[in-house]
Amino acid sequence: MPLINTRDTIYLEQSEVLSRHEYPGDQYVMRLNAPQTAQQAGPGNFVHIQCDSTIPLRRPMSIMRADSKNNWIEVLFKVHGKGTELLSKKCPGDNLSLLGPIGVPFKMSDYRRLPLLIGGGVGIPPMIFLAEHIKNQQDEYKPFVIAGSEIPFPFTPTPSKIMVSGISEGTIASMPLLEDWGIPSRLTSRQGYAGCYDGFVTDLTRVWLDSLSPDTLKDVEIFSCGPTPMLQAVADVAHEYQLPCQVSLEEYMACAVGGCAGCTVLVTTDAGEAMKRVCVDGPVFEAATVFPR
């Protein structure tokens, strides 16, 4: 099936499943051959996948990684209904129709020295993509990732060998992929998982921010993706510490290309309040515009 360029930015691709890995909690990581999407995707973009030929409506999924040289992307999803259940049964060699990359990504350059990336649940994938992107920019950038989950993580946590100032030695669980990249990460949960901080992502965020000197704090900016209540809490922390913050919203979608306006949210603009479509006006917004004080 030929590639179809829509709006010069979104492509319709017949992708091939390259690999599928299952994790506890009905979670799956799937690698897809999707050349056009892989070439154009940025951290925060997502794809709209047809889970099965018997289900016409697609499902939006954040891009977790994109390899433009080898033409693949990865997505993480949790089974939550018939569509994702059928998707979870796809095997290497199967084909999936997808639209991508869609949406406004996180900022792509000019970071502060200490980017803080906060992901919750299925909001973790964009943080992995962003961390990898920042890592490949300049050596002066030192990203730190905090990830939280109330179900088992979609990877096997590993004790970190990268020390993080201000965080106790008991909070040592990290994401192995980020550890391999030399990017410090710490995990949080209220489920008593070994090595994880006992609390919310924002609790550990405050612990870390409180350990920084006023001058160092000025080097921090926040990026986050996760459930809306978590993003509200992250926006509150950003406001409290007077830090810039971008958030990627999670929202149910039908068309995902701006036509149906079924994913609108109220956003504060310079001209006043306005309804914006999460799919194409977002999913990334400045936190203060979505969660005004």
Q: What is the pLDDT of residues 76-133, one digit of tens each?
A: 999 999 999 999 999 999 999 999 999 999 999 999 999 999 999 989 999 999 999 9
Q: With 90 as the cut, is the pLDDT of residue 214 above it? A: yes
What pLDDT, on a 0 to 100 scale, did the predictor assign at position 261? Answer: 86
Q: Whole-model pTM?
A: 0.94
Q: Would 33 be classed as within a structural domain? A: yes
Alpha-carbon Rg of the chain, whole angstroms? 19
CA distance 152 to 58: 26
Alpha helices (H) in 167-279, listed in sequence order: 176-181, 201-210, 214-217, 228-240
* Percent of the residues in the chain that have a pLDDT greater than 90, as a whole number: 88
Q: Would 286 be classed as within a structural domain? A: no
Q: How many domains does the chain have?
A: 2
Beta-bridge partner residues of 242:
none
Same-domain status, 119 and 53:
no
What pLDDT, on a 0 to 100 scale, did the predictor assign at position 74? Answer: 98
What pLDDT, on a 0 to 100 scale, did the predictor assign at position 147? Answer: 98
In the listed set 102, 124, 149, which residue is the last one of a domain according to the structure? 102
Q: Would 273 be classed as within a structural domain? A: no
The 114-120 sheet, strands edge to edge:
197-198, 185-189, 144-148, 114-120, 220-225, 245-248, 284-286
Same-domain status, 129 and 27:
no
Q: With 50 as the cut, is the pLDDT of residue 4 above it? A: no
Q: Would 270 be classed as within a structural domain? A: no
CATH code where residue 48 lies? 2.40.30.10
In the listed set 41, 71, 102, which residue is the last one of a domain according to the structure? 102
What pLDDT, on a 0 to 100 scale, did the predictor assign at position 149? Answer: 96
Q: Give residue 28's domain range.
A: 4-102
Mean pLDDT of 278-292: 94
Mean pLDDT of 37-61: 95
What pLDDT, on a 0 to 100 scale, did the predictor assign at position 111? Answer: 96
Q: Would 177 be classed as within a structural domain? A: yes
CATH code where residue 122 lies? 3.40.50.80
What pLDDT, on a 0 to 100 scale, did the predictor assign at position 217? Answer: 97
In the listed set 102, 130, 154, which residue is the last one of a domain according to the structure? 102
Provide the residue type at 58 as one letter: R
Same-domain status, 138 and 90:
no
Same-domain status, 124 and 227:
yes
Q: Would 290 be classed as within a structural domain? A: no
Provide the residue type at 140 as one letter: E
| Of residues 121, 116, 111, the one with CA closest to residue 204 | 116
Q: Would 269 be classed as within a structural domain? A: no
| Of residues 104, 154, 102, the one with CA closest to residue 125 | 154
